[in-house]
């Protein structure tokens, strides 16, 4: 049976059972809801792939539009999925350094990882992706292929949207780590 991730639950945090605050629950629930909406892109992507395969191999007529749509859907689904994956702590982690640390040291390790690595990376991507999107928008960028899709700026806009969601998720997690350091574990989970 599939697990419902529609609301924040203490069991979602796989590694560190972090304390939630109303502020962090709101952010996490919002990001998860956005992720749930965009999860339907994967179903649409599979349908587009099947349609493209049938057109190409059964009817001998592939469509460039469907090829590009596949990549656009994959890009948007993957980018938006980053933030909800981070919220539920299902992202790839390298715990070689923190595995043997005490719980409190793991919290500090997580905090400094967010402050020194995660947030600067997110801010750097946002800093460079906004002009990247703006240029695409103002020039009304489209595919270079003759039958390609218009509005390439839409896909580039999801770079900004997804990294903003990831920034929100990072701020929420950092706040949760600090709250857990300051107040300890929430026994009411």
144 located within any domain: yes
- 2 domain residue, yes or no: no
For the chain, what is the domain count? 1
pLDDT tens digits along 70-108? 999 999 999 999 999 999 887 777 677 777 888 888 889
Domain range for 39 is: 18-91+99-183
Name the residue with higher pLDDT: 188 or 181: 181
User: Does position 56 have pLDDT exceeding 70, yes or no?
Assistant: yes
In a domain, 37, yes or no: yes
In this prediction, residue 12 carries a pLDDT of 46
Q: What is the 3-state secondary structure (H, E, C) of the chain?
A: CCCCCCCCCHHHCCCCCCCCCHHHHHHHHHHHHHHHHHHHHHHHHHHHHHHHHHHHHCCCCCCHHHHHHHHHHHHHHHHHHHHHHHHCCCCCCCCCCCCCCCHHHHHHHHHHHHHHHHHHHHHHHHHHHHHHHHHHHHCCCCCCCCCCCCCHHHHHHHHHHHHHHHHHHHHHHHHHHHHHHHHCCCCCC
pLDDT at 187 (0 to 100):
47
In a domain, 41, yes or no: yes
- d(CA 147, CA 139) in angstroms, rounded, equals 18
Read off the pLDDT of residues 134-162 as tens digits, 9 standing for 90 and up.
999 999 888 888 787 888 888 999 999 99
């Amino acid at each position: 049976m599939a697990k419902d991730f529609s609301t924040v639950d203490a069991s979602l945090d796989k590694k560190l059972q972090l304390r939630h605050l109303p502020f962090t629950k709101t952010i996490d629930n919002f990001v998860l809801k956005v992720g749930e909406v965009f999860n339907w892109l994967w179903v649409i992507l599979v349908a587009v792939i099947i349609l493209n395969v049938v057109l190409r191999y059964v009817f001998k007529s592939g469509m460039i539009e469907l090829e590009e749509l596949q990549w656009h859907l994959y890009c948007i689904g993957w980018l938006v999925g980053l933030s909800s994956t981070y919220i539920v702590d299902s992202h790839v982690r390298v715990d070689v350094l923190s595995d043997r640390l005490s719980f409190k040291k793991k919290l500090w390790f997580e905090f400094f990882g967010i402050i020194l690595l995660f947030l600067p990376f997110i801010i750097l991507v946002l800093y460079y992706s906004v002009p990247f999107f703006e240029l695409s928008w103002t020039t009304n960028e489209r595919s270079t292929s003759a039958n390609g899709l218009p509005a390439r700026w839409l896909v580039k806009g999801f770079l900004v949207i997804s990294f903003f969601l990831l920034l929100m998720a990072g701020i929420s997690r950092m706040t949760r780590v600090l709250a857990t350091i300051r107040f300890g574990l929430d026994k009411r989970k």
